[in-house]
Structure 1
Amino acid sequence: MRERILVVDDDPMVRDILVRFLQREGYIALVASSGGEALEIVTHQAPDLVLLDVTMPGLDGFGVCRVLKNNARTALIPVTMLTGLDDRDNRQRGLEAGADDFLSKPFDQPMLRARLRSQLRIKHLTDQLEHTESVIFSLALAVEVKDSYTEGHLWRLSEYGHQLALAHGLPTDEARFVRYGGLLHDIGKIGVSDTILSKNGPLTPGEYALMQEHTHIGARIVAPMRFAPQVGPIILSHHEFWNGCGYPNALAGEQIPVGARVIAVLDSYDAMTTDRAYRSSLGRDEAIRRLRAGSGSQWDPTLIDLFVSIVERGELVQPTRAQSADRKAESQ
C-alpha cells in the first residue's frame, strides 16, 4: 500500500518541488499551505509522515507539531521539520515540540530519500505494535467473556487501579500503566483450561499449580507491547503477598512492584463484592473487614488504609458503560 506524506509549506515553489519528488518515489502526496489547513487534512486523511515547514504565517510549524504530538490519535505520526534556518535554536524548539527529524533547505534528494525511508520504516514498526496491542486487549476481554459472573471486572479494575494509583501519589504515566495492568492482569487465563477456570469447588494441588501459571503466560503474551516493561511486572506479580507467601516468586513487601500491589487489593475487593458462580456477593462491609484482616499479611497495609478510606468516603468511581468504551478506544 502506498504511503501518504503530507507536505506543509507556505511557499508554492517548495511544495511543488516536494510533491513532484514524492510522486516520482511512488508516494501519495497530500498538500497544505498553512498550519490550520494541515491540521484539517490530518483529521480526515491521517498521513504516514508529515513534512512540515517551520516558518509559516499564523500557526507555525512548531505549533502544528505540538498539536499533533499532544493528540493521542496523531502522536505517533512522524514529523520531519523543514527549515532554511539550520541553527541550534530552531532544532531545539522542534525537539521540544516533538519533532522526529529535521531537513534543511535546499533539499539534497538522496538525503531526503533516505530520511523518508527511515521515518516510514519506524512508522510501519509502530503500526505493527499497535495492531499487536489491539489484539492483546481483545484477548483480555475474551477471557472475561468466558465467565458471565466476571462481566465488567476488567474495566472496574482498570478504573479503580488508576484512581488508587493517583491517590497513592504515583505519577500520571505510572498510573496509566496501572490502568493497563487492571485490564490485562488475567490475560494469561486464556492459556488455562476452562474446566479449571469454571470449577465450582476447590482446586486440587495440580489444578492450582496450573492456575498459577496464568501469571507467567500473561507476562509472555504482553511481551511485544511497548509498555511491557511497566505492565508485565504487574501481570506477573499481582498474586504476590505482602508477607512473601504468594506466587509466582514469593516476593515480599516492597519487592512487589507497586502496580501489582495496587491491583492485588482491587482484584480481591472486586471479587468479594460481586456475585460469583460459587457464592453471592459478600457486600461492601464484609469485603472491607476482610481487607483489613489481611492488611500486612496478604496486602500492602498502606494501600489497604488508603483504599478503605476512599470506599468509606463514597469516592470510589464506578465506571459507566460509556467510560468503558472510551477507555477501550483509548487503549487501542
Structure 2
Amino acid sequence: MGSFPIFLSSILCCIMLPEMTGVELLRRVKSFPRLRSIPVVLLTAMEDLESKNAGFAAGADDYVTKPFQPVELCLRLRGLLRLNEYHDRLEEVDNILKSMVAIVEAKDVYTKGHSLRVAQLVAAMGREVNLEEEKMETLYRAGLLHDIGKIVVDSGCLNKPGPLEPKEMAVIRRHPETGAVILGQMQRTAPIVPLVRDHHEHLDGSGYPAGKRGQEISFLTRLLSCADVYDALTSDRPYRKAMPRESALGIIEAEVAKGWWDLEAFRLLERVVEMEEGYGHAGVNY
C-alpha cells in the first residue's frame, strides 16, 4: 500500500477480491491522506443495499453494477474527475487567499491572528441567531478576508506608533474598496464582497468608504463590523495596549448610542464574549 503512485487520477475496484473485499481495500486506500481525494468507483454484481451503503461509508464515490457498458463507466468516471478538478481549483483559490491574509498580517505585526479571531467571533454571533449554513459560511469567510485590501498598504503606515497624517489615513481608508476589488474577481468570494467593502460603514452615514447609512448596510455586515471593532479594541496596537473586555464593550455600546453600530449586533457580541469568557483570543471555532 505504501507504494501507491501519487499520480493516480481515479480508482476502479471490484467488491469481490481474492484476499479481502473491495470495501476493506477502499478503507485502506482512504487511510492515506494523499489518496483521500481520488475518486473511487466500486464494481459489483450485487444489488443489495447493505453492500452499497458499506461502500459509500468507506469512501466510494459511485457504484457500477456488472455487467456494464464501457461507455457508462467512462461517463461516470468523467463526471467524477470533473468534480474532483473543480474541488481542487476551489482549494487552490482558498490557499491563495490564506497566503494573502498571511502577507497582510506579516506586514502589520500588531494584528497577527486578527482575521481568524474576527472570523471565529462573528461566526459565533451568527450561530446565536441560527443563521442558515450558507450565511454562516459567508460570515466566517468575510471575517477571514475583511482586511485583505491592506495588502497594498505600506507596512510603515500600518505600524505607525503615532497619529496618522491625513494622506496616510486616506490610504488606510481605501482598504475596504481594494479588498472588494480583489475578492470580486473570483466567483467563490463574490458573496462576501459587500461585507468586506462595507465593514467600516456607520449606520448614521459617518463611516467609509461610501458613507452608507441604515438599511444600505446588511445585517451580516453589521455583525462583522461589531466583531472587527471588538477584536481591534482588545488587541495591542502600535499606539495603545489592548483593552479589557469590559472597556471594549463599553466603548462599542457608546458608539451604538452615537448611531454607528447596530444594537442587535452589539447585544449578540456581548452575549458571545460573555459566554466565551476569556474569548480574548482563544476564539470560538466555526
> Structure 1-normalised TM-score?
0.71
Amino acid at match of 1:275: D
* Cα pair distance change 1:34/1:56, threshold 3 Å: farther
Alpha-carbon shift at residue 239 of structure 1 (Å): 1.2
**Higher RCO (C-alpha 8 Å, min separation 6):** 2
| Counterpart in the other structure of 2:273 | 311
SS at match of 2:205: coil
Whole-Å separation in 1 of the counterparts to 2:90 and 2:170: 32
* Cα pair distance change 1:2/1:149, threshold 3 Å: closer
| Counterpart in the other structure of 1:52 | 42
| Counterpart in the other structure of 2:239 | 278
* Cα pair distance change 1:109/1:223, threshold 3 Å: farther
SS at match of 1:277: coil
Unpaired stretches in structure 2, ≥5 consecutive residues = 1-5
Whole-Å separation in 1 of the counterparts to 2:214 and 2:20: 56
**Alignment counterpart, residue 209 of structure 1, candidates 170, 177, 183:** 170
* Cα pair distance change 1:176/1:125, threshold 3 Å: closer
Confirm or deny that 1:150 pairs with 2:114: no
Amino acid at match of 1:302: E
| Counterpart in the other structure of 2:64 | 82
Amino acid at match of 2:94: E
Amino acid at match of 1:232: V
* Cα pair distance change 1:220/1:40, threshold 3 Å: farther
Alpha-carbon shift at residue 67 of structure 1 (Å): 6.2
What aligned pairs does 1:124-163 form with structure 2 within 5 A after superposition?
124-163=85-124
Confirm or deny that 1:61 pairs with 2:52: yes
Amino acid at match of 1:163: A
Kept in 2, the 8 Å contact 1:10–1:56? The answer is no
| Counterpart in the other structure of 2:14 | 9
Alpha-carbon shift at residue 206 of structure 1 (Å): 3.5
Alpha-carbon shift at residue 160 of structure 1 (Å): 1.1
* Cα pair distance change 1:169/1:249, threshold 3 Å: farther
* Cα pair distance change 1:317/1:230, threshold 3 Å: farther
Amino acid at match of 1:188: G
| Counterpart in the other structure of 1:186 | 147
| Counterpart in the other structure of 1:37 | 25
> Structure 2-normalised TM-score?
0.81
* Cα pair distance change 1:256/1:132, threshold 3 Å: same
| Structure 1, 106-115 or 210-219: larger mean CA deviation | 106-115
Kept in 2, the 8 Å contact 1:136–1:222? The answer is no
What aligned pairs does 1:200-279 form with structure 2 within 5 A after superposition?
200-223=161-184, 227-279=188-240
Alpha-carbon shift at residue 53 of structure 1 (Å): 4.6
Kept in 2, the 8 Å contact 1:219–1:232? The answer is yes
Kept in 1, the 8 Å contact 2:9–2:81? The answer is no
Whole-Å separation in 1 of the counterparts to 2:7 and 2:273: 53
Amino acid at match of 2:36: A
- What are the superposed Cα offsets for residues 248-269 of structure 1, whole Å, 9 maximum, x if unpaired? 3333334323332112111111
Alpha-carbon shift at residue 32 of structure 1 (Å): 7.7
* Cα pair distance change 1:111/1:60, threshold 3 Å: closer
Whole-Å separation in 1 of the counterparts to 2:141 and 2:171: 24
Alpha-carbon shift at residue 119 of structure 1 (Å): 3.1
* Cα pair distance change 1:60/1:251, threshold 3 Å: farther
Alpha-carbon shift at residue 189 of structure 1 (Å): 0.6
* Cα pair distance change 1:115/1:290, threshold 3 Å: same
Whole-Å separation in 2 of the counterparts to 1:39 and 1:255: 51
Unpaired stretches in structure 1, ≥5 consecutive residues = 16-30, 69-77, 84-104
Kept in 2, the 8 Å contact 1:36–1:59? The answer is no
Amino acid at match of 2:15: D
Alpha-carbon shift at residue 47 of structure 1 (Å): 5.0
Amino acid at match of 1:289: G
Runs of 4+ in structure 1 displaced over 6 angstroms? none
SS at match of 1:295: helix
